[in-house]
Structure 1
């Protein structure tokens, strides 16, 4: 039995199962279909999505020498999107609501960008610490502010994703727990509200995966 509402987001107590994180790897089951000789409709839709995302990220990166980076970013988006949607199903642990996964995704990307930028484009990285047109008196303060804002970037990425996933699931859980004490008329309204919230959560799952990947792309474009 869960001691509190937030225990549903704790993988060590969720249904007393050690298989909670296995939902993250269910997407690997779809990989063999990519090698079929005749593509199915699902694979054709998958390729169409990949091409659209490639064009989108190519504009954001704006670097002709880094053509393969879009594939890595597309994989990141689809991984987050897949796990966000899996969390909407009953009895499936939402791995993207846990800071272990979101910080694991955000921190290596940010760290690799910083190491690459400071080693190869040191002057460019130093120029980013002082915005154009800053008065000489404010330059030391702007360096401190820009440094702090740069350091907290992986934390903000991880917290944004996990907090949005937790908020919607908590609201669905709170409304669902009140169903047993409501009348038939109020129960009908509750079901309608739950369906609308489920649609909203589906939109949030898409938007948050896109926002996470786009922000990662923008961070990478700053070091070039």
Structure 2
């Protein structure tokens, strides 16, 4: 059975950027651009109406920025889309704030077409971290480990801790299963438990939480 195409909304205040993104994504059979927005507020409205799988969200936009738009979408849209913030500079504090707000990853505006397409596919699949090395760098630059780790750190089992570290390295469930010599279903269960214990919605937020807790520097 053929999978339905990945539905994408483009949010950027520059029409030329949206046009270029639409041209690249629409050339792929498994991707479909279902809406566009020129402001943060419009992005929230379009997402509510079109219910995409993925949103490419510019960080700086009129009315409300991409960070606030991300927060509103995740707070008010049932079964919300995966949001990828698009930025000019990868070490921008706005990007880290967007990730903390719930964005699933980020993409540089200078990225080539292949990187853009693969990023949308990866984030839609949601069983891997988008650009893990860049997320690690951001976390290292913008977080300071707590002196006292939050309670969830002690609640992780040894296996869950191992899974979280593999998640931070960007491994998929299948890759983690092979690394740990367990079945994919077991890994999926561990991932779900990690998300529940960290109180996060996806891998990106779990990894951010791990860095902020000082977990990634422990043991």
Same fold (TM over 0.5): no
Q: Which has the higher helix share?
A: 1
Q: Which has the higher strand share?
A: 2
The structure with the largest alpha-carbon Rg is: 1
